[in-house]
């Protein structure tokens, strides 16, 4: 976030010593570098060269630095489903909050509870909630496409997609169509529209709450 956005919520007491602000800025820079290494580590785990049977040396080296931190979050079973692991996003979100707090303190020499709440909420939205909603909407969009586009492999694709969002479709059906007969297309379309509205409403609500928290003077 833009650091000046929170300026209105700062305390009026004197700032911290310059050397302490300098340390905070230095630590923020280190966390930024560490976050970048996490992204590199994640990308390298996705890339496998032809004939490669083991991790490349760079990936192994980064693993010794990055994996101990990521392992703290891998116990969150609710964020791990089949081949999808969202725990690195939580790990990055935590680093982002700490980095932003240190950066603000390094710039202004002071921090407020309101600023911290605004940072936490904004980071959760940017790193976790928003990506999850976008993922669900994208998968539902593809699922809706296969409702209309029939082909020899359509059922196989639908089965694969339903392994990702089948729980979401069942939840929407219970929420809006409990005890009612509904066809596949209508259910998928209703689910997509619902999550689009959830995304738009949540985005607006987060912006309002961040603005309110940022103006708190304590």
Residue range 27-68, pLDDT digits in tens: 999 999 999 998 888 887 776 655 555 667 777 888 888 888
Per the prediction, the chain carries an average pLDDT of 81
**CA separation for the pair 87, 30 (Å, rounded):** 21
- Indicate if the alpha-carbon torsion angle 186, 189, 195, 196 is positive or negative: negative
* Residue 12 pLDDT class (50, 70, 90 cuts): very low
Helices (H), 14-56: 18-46
Is pTM beyond 0.85? Reply is no
Task: Report the alpha-carbon distance of residue 163 to residue 2 in Å, rounded.
Answer: 39
Percent of the chain whose pLDDT exceeds 90: 18
- In the numeric block, the tokens 């409403």 are attached to 201
Q: What is the mean pLDDT of residues 6-32?
A: 70
pLDDT digits (tens, 9 = 90+) for 134-151: 989 999 998 888 888 877
pLDDT of residue 62: 84
pLDDT above 50 (res 10): no
Top pLDDT among 72 and 44 is at 72
Q: How many CB atoms lie within 10 A of CB 72?
A: 12
- pLDDT of 184 > 90? The answer is no
Q: How many Å separate Cα 201 from the centre of its chain? A: 17
């Amino acid at each position: 976030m833009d650091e000046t956005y929170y300026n209105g919520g700062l305390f009026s007491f004197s700032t911290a010593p310059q050397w302490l602000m300098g340390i905070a800025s230095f630590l923020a820079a280190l966390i930024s570098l560490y976050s970048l290494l996490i992204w590199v580590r994640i990308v390298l785990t996705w890339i496998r060269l032809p004939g490669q049977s083991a991790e490349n040396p760079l990936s192994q080296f980064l693993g010794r630095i990055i994996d101990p931190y990521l392992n703290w979050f891998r116990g969150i079973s609710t964020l791990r489903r089949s081949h999808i692991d969202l725990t690195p996003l939580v790990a990055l979100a935590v680093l982002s909050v700490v980095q932003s707090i240190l950066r603000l303190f390094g710039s202004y020499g002071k921090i407020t509870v309101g600023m911290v709440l605004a940072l936490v909420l904004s980071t959760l939205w940017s790193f976790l909630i928003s990506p999850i909603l976008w993922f669900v909407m994208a998968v539902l969009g593809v699922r809706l496409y296969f409702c209309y586009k029939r082909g020899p492999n359509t059922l196989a694709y639908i089965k694969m997609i339903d392994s990702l969002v089948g729980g979401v479709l069942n939840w929407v059906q219970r929420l809006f169509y409990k005890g009612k007969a509904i066809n596949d297309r209508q259910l998928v379309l209703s689910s997509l529209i619902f999550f689009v509205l959830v995304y738009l409403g949540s985005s607006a609500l987060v912006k309002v709450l961040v603005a309110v928290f940022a103006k708190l003077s304590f």
